[in-house]
Structure formats: structure tokens, C-alpha cells
Amino acid sequence: MALSVRPLTVHIGAEVHGVDLRDPSDTEIKEIEDLLLEHLVVFFRDQQLEPAHQVALGRRFGELHLHSVADTVQDHPELIVLENDERRPPNIDAWHTDVTMDLEPPMGSILRAVDVPVVGGDTIWASMYAAYDALGPSVQAMCRELTAVHHYPDYFRTGILRQPDGYAKLERYDRDHPPVEHPVVRRHPVTGRYGLFVNSTFTKYIKGMGRKEGAALLEMLNDHIATRPEFHVRFKWEPGSVAFWDNRCTQHYAVADYFPQHRLMHRVTIAGDRPVG
């Protein structure tokens, strides 16, 4: 392998060196794909990407996913803007897998640091393989038989209502984005490994379970994911840093410890397929 790879933990995360993401070769793209499957999230430093480069890079890995709510870069509707400062406090400091409210959630995302705070603003990723593997056999077996309902979070609703003609837009959004069902345990379509596929942001309830029992199970699973550092890798951003994660088997958390400093990130998201158990 031509690329230099430094694993960051046993379960998740690796830094990759020796590639210019502005124009990677087909061989390098295949190596990155393989590393993503092995490490779940891969990190690159000192990348001089412009928006067009980042969009083109995303397309090397598949069709791009268009977010239904997020702000985007002018002339690049595929490129999401994540910007926070004293006027725009962070609001995504919660564990989540991206857009599981979709029937076919994204395969992965490529996030680039444009401007980072002097201190703070890290992102943490968690391995859903490791989280599943750490459950007892009886809990694993139970979860493999369950289905969860996913829908959009409250901050989506708030953002839509702030727009001109917000109530009419929210009515249309509700119609176009009904709740969807996904297995509680997802089988990865490439590796075949099992991983938990619930999260505290988009997962609303367990289908077929009583309200109290389902809520207790979701709380247990979400706490299990969030409170076990053995499942996690934490990345400190620098200008030009890039992270590429597999959305099918990870969750992530944007740490909101930098307010009111400025933080600007650009994200391109790659379309995925329908989860199966």
C-alpha cells in the first residue's frame, strides 16, 4: 500500500498520509475505500481543498446526497455549510448517525475544516460494531429482532419555521418526510458485520414494544454508545483537516466547547442504501 496509515485506536480511526485529495488516483481511491472499511473513519491533514475539489472527491465514492434542510455553499448545493459563532451557537452536540430519517441514509460523509477555533471544537466518532459486540448475547439476539422508527429532530422543525412562509414549508416537509423504519441492528452491506443502528437524534421509538419498555431500551443503548470511551476516537481539527467516515457503522458527536469562537466546516455526503438486519 502506497499510503502511510497510523491507526488511532483498536476499534476505530486512522490517520492517512501521502495523498493529495485534490486529485487522487484510482488506486488511491480504492486504498481509501479499503481503509474506511477497516477503520470506519479516516483522517487527513494539510489538504488544500476548494469546494469544487471536495464535491469532486465525494463523487469518486458514489452519488451525492442532498440534505433537505442544511445551508449549502453557493453554486455547490451538494456541499453543506456547518458554521457556528457567537450569533450561531452550536446545536448538533448530540450523538447521531447522519440523516437516519431517510429511507436510504447516507453511506458516508467527507468533512473539511475551513476555520477552526483556537481551542475546542473536536469531533468524536463511535464504532457501532464495537458497541454491538460489547452487548451480552441475549441482548444482541433481542435487538436483532427489533425495528426502530426514525424521524427528523426538533431542530430541523425550528430551522424550517424560521424561514419565510415557514409553516407552509413545514407542512410540505412533513408530507415529504414521513417516519421510516430501520432495523435496530444493521448488517453492513460490504463487511457483513453487525452494528447498532439507533441514535439519540433521529430514533423515536421501538416498533412493537410498549412505550416504557421501548424508551428504556433506547436509553440503555444510547447510554451504552455514549459513555464507553473504548468505542470512541476523538479528532482535533486543524485548518485543512479532512475526515471521511462510514455512516453505516458509526455515530459522531461535535463537541460544543468552543462557543463563542468561530468554527466553519464543509461537508459532502455520499448516498447510501436501505439498511437491512
Q: Where are the domains of the chain?
A: 4-270
pLDDT for 1 beyond 70? no
Q: What is the tens place of the pLDDT at every residue in 220-250? A: 999 999 999 999 999 999 999 999 999 999 9
Q: What is the pLDDT of residue 233?
A: 98
| Residues labelled catalytic | 96, 98, 252, 267
User: To 5 degrees, how large is the angle CA 28–CA 33–CA 38?
Assistant: 120
Please state the pTM of the whole predicted model.
0.94
How would you label 234-254 residue by residue, b for 16+ Cβ within 10 Å and e otherwise? ebebeebbbbbbbbbbbbbbb
CATH of segment(s) 4-270: 3.60.130.10
